[in-house]
Amino acid sequence: MGTKDLVLTSFWRSSCSWRVRIALAFKAVPHTLETIHLQRAGGEQFKDDYRAKNHMAQVPLLTINAGLLEDPVYLSQSMAILEFIEEEYPDPPLLPKKSLERAKVRQIAEIINSGIQPLQNSSTLKKIKSFDQDEQAWARFWIQDGLDNLERQLQGLRSTEFLVTDQPSIAECCLIPQLYGARRFGCNVSAWSRLLEVEERCLSFDAFQSSRPENQPDAEL
């Protein structure tokens, strides 16, 4: 591919958008960034024209324009987008070559993607708040528990520079935004020595820096 025209729809503080921003930057994939605002005017993602592209009304969304004669393809779900980018732009890789290592990368990514993030995203927190519960405490609970367990799991396997191998991967694309979320919700990050060590190594890459929320055109600081 490479000739296809890609548009990423992103929101600066969305951790799932950030995952994809890292991958596109890491692989230097040419693309256009479009932003929508998840809170303004009740949430721009709920407007009809956006929902026609993504019925789940979420970011990120990758619009793939294959050519003038074909309809664009709208691809949602950050994990599906990350795998698509990996298949179409394999170099530099974000998945190892060895099958068991690839499996471990996906395992860690999914611990975050399905085990933590869905419980702290904005629609879940809105629902928790409607119960007159402290939605910040709820988010903090799930992130703390999930990353505590991930840290314990990784403690036995400290011999690599990054989570699974000596290179960053899709797992780090998920971890770095989740650590940002952990701090935002007031988690105690101090016990996560392995996660913080990997985070520090990641943040030495331009791709992990340029993709940060505060470096986005729609950032509100």
> Cβ closer to its own copies: 77 or 136?
77
- In whole angstroms, how close is the CB of 172 to its own copies at the nearest point? 15
The runs of H, that is alpha helices, within 114-169 are 122-129, 135-155
Integer Cα distance of 46 and 123 in angstroms? 12
Check residue 170 for interaction with its own copies (CB under 8 A).
Answer: no
CA distance 33 to 116: 26
Query: Of 21-29, 145-153, 158-166, 191-199, which segment contacts its own copies by CB under 8 A?
Result: 145-153
Q: Are strands 73-76 and 61-65 parallel, antiparallel or unpaired?
A: antiparallel
Task: Name which position in 14, 15, 45, 76 contacts its own copies (CB under 8 A).
Answer: 76
CA-to-CA distance for 215 and 22, rounded, in angstroms? 12
* Min dist. Cβ of residue 151 to its own copies (A): 9
Q: What is the DSSP letter of 14?
A: -
Intra-chain end-to-end CA distance of the chain, in Å: 37
The residues that bridge with 33 in the sheet, in sequence order, are 8
**Between 49 and 217, whose beta carbon lies closer to its own copies?**
49
Give the residue, chosen from 25, 29, 88, 136, that forms a contact with its own copies under the rule CB under 8 A: 88
Binding residues for its own copies, rule: CB under 8 A, are: 1, 54-58, 64, 73, 75-81, 83-84, 87-88, 99-100, 102-104, 106-107, 109-111, 113-115, 117-119, 124, 127, 131, 133, 138, 141, 146, 149-150, 152-153
